Structure 1
């Protein structure tokens, strides 16, 4: 089986530093790669002893710590490199006799850490970094704040008139402002989560807030997201802030902050844990004041029907800033509130085709809007789609909608879509069956808002359906408010009707049925970006034809590559059929070593010539054609990450049907991931159990020494998990999917 999979933060700035560090090596904690800088006669720092602590929570004993020299004026890294380790689980480290040609340096730590929320050692490694000026300094701490300011400092100072000192000062102010924190006067590299004081409380508060609703695997991506946003314009986007505010609200109410304090105290490293709770409360309050009820997330009226026993997440609709609770039910991720999007200027399909019940905004505030089916499908956009135009009832004659079995975003937020009929059926099956699921899906309150009658549900899954009623085109009036909940699907029936899911006040049923597309019903969105079939491609090298599809803005092969290298002797030792049998190649495609996947022999392109098991290439995340057909390329881990964000973390939606271990496969995106297994040192394994697809991105473990990189990332799918960054030795043989240039 595969070795443990690892995910770590890889930012643009970090990758830039890797280029300089790749040639460095040291024999001990005091070594300078290539000899002391003093040998060249230029010494700014000589024999400096420097100490510090590395903290997320604290990094554990044995974590790698490095110091890299940097020119203070140009911000270019030198070849002066020191390596050491964290001494104890408190995160402390020391370097002796540091000698540098300039006073500036980059400190970087990589390792496991103690998680403040769980209180336990993290399951994944993390990398944090600090840029500092060592003039008049012998103490440097590495933490979340120093890491968040890194990219911004580089952007402000590199190649510009802004000095390193001024760039640091500005970046620190902007990072604090991004979290609505004021009054911190200490430099970030002086802060310590185990020491009292308001400045240290700010560090601990930010360290905690970046963990909001993410696990150890996702924290690297969260920090990369925040770092990239701050590096670009010195602030976080509103969506990120809204998620943080929502978490802070919940954490203060459900005892999470108390639990965090107890965890930190139990480690025994702090005489007094700083008052981080007040910082988080202040962030929550200031953001609430600025956001107001327009977001909907903090609106008590809108949230009052949600099940308090359910752990909700949330999303922000970037079009209007509204926040919606979300809930995972089985393998599906649903909005737990009805859509309330109404901008008919941005979305012309809505013009005259959506309403608040009884034309009263108070009903929209709680129950969301009612949409015709053509509005819910965003029919104007469908009719003008340049890739695959459809005529979807936008004309006076209510034209027939020629729709396939694709996934349609409709008026849902980016990354979400109008549910297919099949997805509603899966939800019903997950929460009971057609005769009992209704009670489990209905909210526990809100069904007596219209009339003083019983009818509340159990809402055991947090779906929290409300009796929002409908608008009937024939009567041009509103009906069934307080009695029925109706939700559209994307499935069209005949020339005038579409399917939806309905619930009634007095029954336990959840039923699928059709209604006229001109009528108005509620919309619930489900996680996943829209996919549109894009046809086929023919590989001119051997004439094989592959299905393709569009998911979000990417066009992917919908089948595994089956191209075989043909050497002069007719043999191929770099790609394989499972169990060395051609019948498996015909069904599953071929398995390629990483060197074969990136085309290390340069048969088709030059940009990865000579890449292999212990040979790296410097252009991380650059396009590498590899073994792919002309006009296509081997995906980077970033491109796999885009797919992951589009389809979500639920494996069934991209799994091909018909495999015993994937009995829940729905393949609604038609990606048709096949559990083709893999090959390692002559042994074949995991057939019909797991799929693994190479990326062109190498795994970066700290700072590569001697340009040796033995591992690369792959996109993996198992029965219960999707992982966008699984690390494999390069001499594994995995499947290949190509993405269009």
Structure 2
């Protein structure tokens, strides 16, 4: 019926946490929307394409199937049909692990088999698998997901075979981190606070201190909310480790080391103000700024970084976890 051109035994398992809701792609041709998941540099449709003007066949379950001659032009603007390399990378990223059978079924959904338009009876073929179109200039290859065994194989189909289509689009890593790449501003989805960010190598750093409220006005300098608006909020070490927006995190000691290496690039007026909360007192708010890292070396302490504005110096110390320090969040652009 068809010829195997390669074999890739794989499993489908979701292991990644996403910084934002799974993307939805809108087809401007008919307004239909498609759910997607992120993998590598691409968003992958988890719904079958259903653009009616190019559908060649629909089965009793209302699945849409497309002729090989129309595969390459089937996807909406801004998306494309995945090629062999993209399918292979997707398989390496997603099709591994002990839950391969359930995850192959999850990705395949209700999709089953393919149809040979040269068969007048239109009988389903390969009904124990799902078949998805592949952008392949050398032949009519498809990715087959075996829903009985949880395996995947690249196969060559008959010339008149029709299969389902899943499209892919390039990911917007900035949008996934809630950042407008034009203004370089982060909008925290929890409270709509806006923070300027800057890129350092493959990381984005907040340029101002976090203001997200985990407790009360006690997080503010002199317990005055005016200072929370001006400088940001103080956090205990425990609070700091859970304060950042989804997809962002409290930098560890190594990330702070990288951040401060280029001293000429540091904005001392920005970093070296706001002080800290030292039990019932406060550090010098005009000349210093104190920041938590996620690193803890000794019991009941957290590694902290102090920036001195006037002296343009930095101290790296271990502070009691109950002290109130500021938080700058960071994220990887991947």
Name the TM tier (shorter chain): 0.3 to 0.5
Normalising by structure 2, report the TM-score. Answer: 0.42
Q: Which has the higher contact order (CA 8 A, sep 6+)?
A: 2
Normalising by structure 1, report the TM-score. Answer: 0.20
- Structure ID, larger Rg: 1
